[in-house]
A and B are shown apart, each in its own frame.
Chain A
Amino acid sequence: MSAVRTLAFRRFLHEVGPVDAVGVEERVAKYGTRSIKRQAKVFGLKLAASMVDLTTLEGKDTPGKVAALCAKALRPDDRDDGGMSCPPVAAVCVYPSMVAAARRALGPRSPVRIASVATAFPSGQAPLATRLAEVRAAVGAGADEIDMVINRGAFLSGEFTRVGDEISAVRDACGQAALKVILETSELETYDAIRAASFIALRRLRPGDFIKTSTGKTSSNATLGNNQVMLDAIRDHYLASGVAIGMKPAGGIRTAKQALTFLIAVKETLGDAWLTNTRYRFGASSLLNDLLRQLEKERTGAYQAPYRFSEATESY
């Protein structure tokens, strides 16, 4: 199998081009040296908050926990009267069984969208029919967005067409719902593989869909490096086809500083048109309160204690 895999991979890599790991790391290190102050910082912090997919993905999730999450998503800053200090987040992200609860909590016409992981998240190791049924169930229960996982087993054994066909099947099952394709970068291991997987997904997606780094369930999650490789792929695909796909790094982004650095990568790679929550998201939960904390610091000049901000999530 490995010979087949190597050949298929090499052929595909030749088509989309390789990635130099040292060069990528060097490039992204420069984003960290950008210095964002005053108005630019406030703008960046609010933008980041508006891009958060506030997430809870645990076996112990309950409708009550999801309701608390939804309330936080609608009004991140509990002392905020008119929604001036912090906008609502982009979406809540839950398991399919919690979608109905989220819909009840948010109401039918909410500014906050409901994203549901599906397709036997996080492993994806279920028959395709089962995965598709899960997608349909989540959409039926009211999900606006579906976060699917790719079939890493198929990818690593060189069955790229199968990986792509499964994405197409899930896309069709989504109907009107937007699709986010999780590559699970830590299981692909190399930047070359991440670039290849990005293109497999990009070529199957519709405008308004996303590619996403990780499930948050493995040892390493979103990094500036894999974010950059995926942004580069999105740019190449857009310039070649005109189809604009969004990007969602997920897991491991816990601080406002990190989020701003990711946004600088977006600004300098894809430009202004991607600085919106219809094209860029953060899969995160504890990030939100750090953004609020930094916004409050910009407003008052002093850092507040963590307990001053309402807690409705746990780390992700």
Chain B
Amino acid sequence: MPSAPARSVRRRRTPTAPELIFGNLWEFDPSPETADPKLKAQYDLLIDGRFVPARRGARFTSINPANEKALAEVALADESDVADAYAAAARAFPRWSRLPGSERGKYLFRLARLLQDRAREFAVAETLDGGKPIRESRDFDVPMAAAHFFYHAGWADKLTYAFPGARHVQPLGVVGQIIPWNFPLLMLAWKLAPALATGNTVVLKPAETTSLTALKFAEILQEAELPPGVVNIVTGAGATGAAVVAHPQAAKIAFTGSTEVGRHIMRATAGTGKRLTLELGGKAANILFDDAPLDQAIEGVINGIFFNQGHVCCAGSRLLVQEGIADEVVARLTLRLRSLRVGDPLDKNTDVGAINSGEQLARIKRLVAAGVREGATLYQPPCALPRKGFYFPPTLFTGVQQSHRIAREEIFGPVLSILTFRTVDEAIEKANNTAYGLSAGVWTDKGSRILKLSTELKAGVVWANTYNKFDPASPFGGYKESGFGREGGRHGLADYVTLS
């Protein structure tokens, strides 16, 4: 049996020192979200506007990571199914791409509104399938997904204004898109909305652990009467994804996921003429200066790493804190951790939900064990985890060194590595001393320092005195091994068109 890492409680104050009690005097009753997710027992592929089983009839089971119960059987697409999907997308392309932009915009508006109409249903389905707290799927994932469709609907008939100087804005053709399991519906929206607005047709592959909201979205595509073949959804694991990447008809591959898979895709597409955008991993530094508004910074650090159980490519997984306030910051973080609620993702009061899969949980445990072995100090708050399902308590590591694995490798879980720095230059150097470059955070009351760091930090996004803020109008993407290409805003559109 894999043993949980030993708990070491950080005792900063003597036992007689004042302590706050976060006990059970006012325990909240369970408050589960009760909306019906309207899941079917079986899901097929969406090809040419119709739901069809995989040619070989293969299926896999999608489970609820919160209790390991089966949710639905999903069709497993192989190369032949992927070929069907590409053929359908290619047939649909000429008409779709020549449709006036205003007409394409109408479809996108319709998708956005239909998604809003069924927001609660989708939020529950997303939480069941992926394990994220219902508070997040309800307040972030689903509204944000709708916002992306609304935003890109507005661009559909204004593409020439998006690219001043270009006389012709042409779509690429059939686009293969592969999305990850951390924000299944939102990543679908990030991918589909700009592709459709610019007149491309799509073959989309959701992650194998989180296919259900994409397949539910397929119902919305039908309800919106999107022309057959414009969007095709093929479900499956790595082999299905490889087939999507390898298909000769793909004009572009858009991938969001791990750096490791990103490398494979880059190799597979090299020399084929396929355009490529990659949004990969990260190991973001959240830099906390001694003049920062501390309580709000603590809140931002907590949000930065424990949002979506840390399954966020831009998660602020390294906290760089100025030495003079390090003890104070750690004390406040441990205090704050004790009022975080970990448990049933469907409960409206849950702050940290379930880890997405057993595989991911094993990876988190491996890296945490490595952190302990390498000499960092672990803190986990006392919290009772459900016995079934995949859970990991919010975790802090203090005394982390730049050379530790937990400071270099992406953990993609609720684990924060705390390092210290003394000067601004040291902070910049440590923040940039990583293979990744997706995001960073700066916490200071000093405006000039924010401006300096925003240019010196090699990260696609730098948040100042906030973290994990997204907007469809704001481009998102990385440097170095965090990938290339941008999603959102005009920059995101540019990756789906050719200009002449």
Contacts and interface: CB of A to CB of B under 8 A. Distances in A.
A239 B465 contact: no
Nearest to A17: B294
A23 interface: yes
Given A22-B466, A23-B293, A35-B349, A272 B29 contact: no
Given A33-B139, A40-B27, A43-B26, A272 B296 contact: no
B299 A39 contact: no
B433 interface: no
B36 interface: no
Chain A contact residues: over half helix, strand or loop, or mixed?
Answer: helix
Nearest to B295: A232
Interface stretch (A58-66, A250-258, A263-271): A263-271
A81 interface: no
B295 A239 contact: no
Interface residues of B, number: 31
Q: Which of B26, B31, B294, B349 has the most CB of A within 10 A?
A: B26
Contact of A34 (B23, B28, B445): B28
Nearest to B22: A271
A83 interface: no
A17 B25 contact: no
Contacts of B311: none
Interface residues on chain A, size class = 35 or more
B245 to A, nearest CB: 40
Interface string A242-264: 10100000000000000000010
Contacts of A263: 26
A38 interface: yes
Contacts of A239: 17-18, 20
Q: Which of A14, A20, A244, A275 has the most CB of B within 10 A?
A: A20
B272 interface: no
Contacts of A241: 18
Interface in B1-40: 17-18, 20-31
A272 B25 CA distance: 6
B68 to A, nearest CB: 25
Nearest to B465: A20
Interface string A156-177: 0000000000000000000000
Given A232-B295, A242-B18, A272-B23, A36 B28 contact: yes
B389 interface: no
B405 interface: no
B296 A24 contact: yes
Given A27-B299, A35-B349, A40-B26, A273 B445 contact: no
B430 interface: no
Interface string A2-22: 000000000000100111101
A235 B296 contact: no
B348 interface: yes
Contacts of A44: 26
Nearest to B339: A268
Interface in B276-310: 291-297, 299-300
Nearest to B18: A242
Given A23-B299, A44-B26, A35 B293 contact: no
A34 B135 CA distance: 9
B20 A270 contact: yes
A129 B2 CA distance: 72
Given A20-B293, A232-B295, A242-B18, A38 B29 contact: yes
B348 A35 contact: yes
A239 B335 CA distance: 11
A244 B19 CA distance: 11
B339 A17 contact: no
A238 interface: yes
B135 A33 contact: yes
Given A18-B293, A272-B21, A23 B139 contact: no
A26 interface: yes
Nearest to B331: A239
A47 interface: yes
Contacts of A24: 295-296
A109 interface: no
B117 to A, nearest CB: 22
A39 B339 CA distance: 20
A235 B20 contact: yes
B20 A273 contact: yes
B312 to A, nearest CB: 17
B283 to A, nearest CB: 24
A271 B300 contact: no
Given A37-B29, A272-B26, 14 more contacts: A19-B296, A20-B293, A22-B465, A22-B466, A23-B296, A27-B296, A34-B28, A35-B349, A39-B29, A40-B28, A41-B29, A242-B18, A271-B339, A272-B22
21 contacts: A14-B291, A17-B294, A19-B293, A20-B296, A23-B295, A23-B297, A23-B299, A23-B300, A24-B296, A27-B295, A34-B349, A37-B28, A38-B29, A44-B26, A242-B17, A263-B26, A267-B339, A271-B339, A272-B22, A272-B23, A275-B25
Task: Report, nearest first, the 4 A-B pairs whose CB atoms are least far apart.
Answer: A23-B296, A35-B31, A35-B348, A20-B293
